[in-house]
Structure 1
């Protein structure tokens, strides 16, 4: 029975892939034992628990890839990416082997557990390793789609699974941008993964309160980024707002490169670099970062107003 929680859909799909393909293995670091523990006992050659040793986790997965297996490596995002970054860079990138890294607990999913369990830099870090595709699914169905896509196509993939999710799924079998809300194309908001619902709510508020008509585009894949789609769906001189559920500006250079020959303004929204010193619920942290509907509405409105003020000053 499938679930609607992205965090539990991941192990369901992972075990299904192991069942379907004798070359697929799961490597995990204690975390997720409630899903994989029985299989680690009954088929230890296919489901491997390395204990709380994340660097070993990645090295074992890369070694299995060198031996011809397709590994699915999993633990919490700060441990999988930040703690084991050198192993990702060398074991997978330098050795040029295939595999799927799947994290949970990204950004502020585990905010109350403190700084050790938070990361907003994981996407930027993995994207810096050559050859990685990076996916940020917004629903459980998109998690399943992207895992099966990575397994089918092989290559190197990072899938970021979080508790926050959208109310609607898209066909994410390609990295194409989807039109979630049609608009004029003069103001384009690109929502990545689980921030879509908040972005759509913000866009409706903006449309009601102003004469702006935002176009909202959605993607669950940021590497590769659909630059051609952005060009096609934007106006000749667009304002672009990029809303990412991790470090602000992580994909800003992708947008800038796509529009490099077209006059445009760009605003990157996301979590800031400053470390939060007060801990609350994930929703508290999302609101503090301005990634709830009101925060996005405020940032986008201020961004658009600044352009109008500057234009009025130039014409005065």
Structure 2
């Protein structure tokens, strides 16, 4: 994903309004951008809050800044600057993170961020984009980087291998069914797809939806999700994020008038205090094909 980030950024750098600000990482990754556009490349060091405010100033001066650092350092640490300098001022700053959720698995709480979407969703004017394949980032960044609104791009280290056709502000239907609605975001699309495929062999047909834009969603997308939930009455949401504030909450908000059962798979209301690999964290938090399949079958057997 970061290689695609560098490639996409180099291409969009032809737009003289694009400027890059780094939080003391990514120098080698973005060396081609720096060599080609040195006057629009800034390494701000470990000063993320100042970096965010400087980006806002550049945006007010007509630039479309791209700010890049590790997820918790440019979301949690910079929340006040994002609120006051980006969202309140409505400045077109693009925040591109690295290390979503528990990608930096072994580095512990300081480098984990499974609440970033929930935090930033609360801010008016903030756009949130969550691509999980290189082509998705390329398409969505080019669609959104110059639209003048503050935009957060959550880049995961792990990706899915499915064919998708993302469009900013829209959800994508991956499978059609009438028994259980499954809604996935990020790399967990892979596990959700495989679980839905296995469920289909047992006669449980899932309506599988993929969310790459968390905010804003178009009225048509919200209507499509609501129609699916009304049809099945059973929802399973899957995400590498806290079950508080993520897509599970988003779906509950969209479908608040419907009566349905809802299984939320993600990080429960806790800190991940054990160290291990990304895969081990997924398993510990129920983010596996097997657990998604179990949630589908359990949901299929329930009444609304």
- Normalising by structure 2, we get a TM-score of 0.92
Q: Say if 2:73 is the partner of 1:90.
A: no
Q: Say if 2:214 is the partner of 1:218.
A: no
Q: Which whole-Å CA distance do the structure 1 matches of 2:102 and 2:52 have between them?
A: 23
Contact 2:24–2:45 at 8 Å: present in 1 too?
yes
Q: Describe the SS at the equivalent of 1:83.
A: coil
Give how far 1:108 is off: 1.2
Contact 2:236–2:295 at 8 Å: present in 1 too?
no
Q: Describe the SS at the equivalent of 2:262.
A: strand
Contact 1:141–1:169 at 8 Å: present in 2 too?
no
- Give CA deviations for 1:194-224 in whole Å, capped at 9, x if unaligned: 2111001112233334x42211111211112
Q: Which whole-Å CA distance do the structure 2 matches of 1:115 and 1:247 have between them?
A: 14
Q: Which whole-Å CA distance do the structure 1 matches of 2:135 and 2:32 have between them?
A: 25
Give matches, 1:143-162, under 5 Å. 143-162=137-156
Q: Describe the SS at the equivalent of 2:84.
A: helix
Give how far 1:237 is off: 5.2
Equivalent residue for 2:68? 74
Contact 1:190–1:240 at 8 Å: present in 2 too?
yes
Equivalent residue for 2:249? 253
Give how far 1:283 is off: 0.8
Q: Say if 2:6 is the partner of 1:11.
A: yes
Question: Are residues 216 and 192 of structure 1, via their aligned partners in 2, closer, same or farther at CA, if it must alter by over 3 Å?
Answer: same
Q: Which whole-Å CA distance do the structure 2 matches of 1:38 and 1:253 have between them?
A: 40
Count, aligned residues: 300
Structure 2 gaps of 5+ residues are: none
Equivalent residue for 1:263? 259
Q: Describe the SS at the equivalent of 2:193.
A: helix
Equivalent residue for 1:314? none
Moved more, 218-227 or 249-258: 249-258
Q: Which whole-Å CA distance do the structure 1 matches of 2:289 and 2:279 have between them?
A: 12
Equivalent residue for 1:120? 114
Contact 2:180–2:232 at 8 Å: present in 1 too?
no
- Give CA deviations for 1:259-291 in whole Å, capped at 9, x if unaligned: 233322222211223112221111111111111
Provide runs of 4+ in structure 1 moved above 6 Å. Answer: none
Equivalent residue for 1:242? 237
Contact 1:36–1:47 at 8 Å: present in 2 too?
no
- Normalising by structure 1, we get a TM-score of 0.88
Q: Describe the SS at the equivalent of 2:20.
A: strand
Equivalent residue for 2:228? 233
Structure 1 gaps of 5+ residues are: 1-5, 312-316
Q: Which whole-Å CA distance do the structure 2 matches of 1:191 and 1:201 have between them?
A: 12
Q: Describe the SS at the equivalent of 2:295.
A: helix
Equivalent residue for 2:126? 132
User: Which protein has the larger Cα radius of gyration, Structure 1 or Structure 2?
Assistant: 1
Q: Which whole-Å CA distance do the structure 2 matches of 1:142 and 1:79 have between them?
A: 24
Q: Describe the SS at the equivalent of 2:29.
A: helix
